[in-house]
Structure 1
């Protein structure tokens, strides 16, 4: 039964990395931007609905694994639909598309907000 344990550990590592990139910065910015806080709440509610209504309750898969799989799907979609990469001199610091300051978070796109919301939903399952 080591397989499921390794899958869950891998999911926890992945979601913790995503939380550092998306979740924590979004929450910090949301503390200063009520509109961002509301948008994150709406995205988090949608993510919870996906898990509640889109997954068989008898599946037995830990929520952190489901959330990580959803986040990976979002990242795959983002890679498929991303515009041509910028040159190194034009690239902002950090992961592509992730705002680097509070003002940037006020203009974050759907994908970035959804990834941040996945991290918010996963946080209770990481302790």
Structure 2
């Protein structure tokens, strides 16, 4: 069974569009849904997510063409890989996260999910 941690090497190795979509889908299930719901509930959190979204778009947008799933998944895999290397894992239960006090990497991954939705990558 594929998980985010097993897909990180596959995505960063350039395994293509299908694995990138699966990675983004797993990311949405693990942090995106709960993080975005919390952002809708708390305007201050939405502001933070929007700032992260802008940074994500600046990092992965291909000129005026927009955002491609492979580039977005690769970006998210780097963020997740860096977090995992420093001992910060995704929450076992994202519903238990205090999203108003969430770590930077979680907010950035939620922003990746928001960009994926806005860019029709999911």
Q: Normalized against structure 2, the TM-score is what?
A: 0.75
For residue 37 of structure 2, give the secondary structure of its aligned residue in structure 1: helix
Corresponding residue of 2:80: 75
Cα offsets for 1:21-44 (capped at 9, x unmatched): 111111111111111111000000
Which structure's relative contact order is higher, taking Cα pairs within 8 Å and 6+ residues apart? 1
The structure that has the greater radius of gyration is 1
1:40 to 28, 33, 49: 49
Corresponding residue of 1:117: 111
> Do 1:74 and 1:111's aligned partners in 2 also have CA atoms closer than 8 Å?
yes
2:22 to 13, 17, 21: 13
Corresponding residue of 1:3: none
Corresponding residue of 2:60: 51
How far does residue 75 in structure 1 lie from its aligned partner after superposition? 1.1
Q: Normalized against structure 1, the TM-score is what?
A: 0.72
> Do 1:97 and 1:112's aligned partners in 2 also have CA atoms closer than 8 Å?
no
Flag as ranges the 4+ runs of structure 1 deviating above 2 A. 95-102, 124-127
Count how many residue pairs are aligned between Structure 1 and Structure 2: 106
Cα offsets for 1:28-67 (capped at 9, x unmatched): 1111111111100000001011123xx6x4xx9x611001
When the two chains are superposed, the root-mean-square deviation of aligned CA atoms in Å is: 2.6
Structure 1, gaps ≥5 residues long: 1-5, 86-94
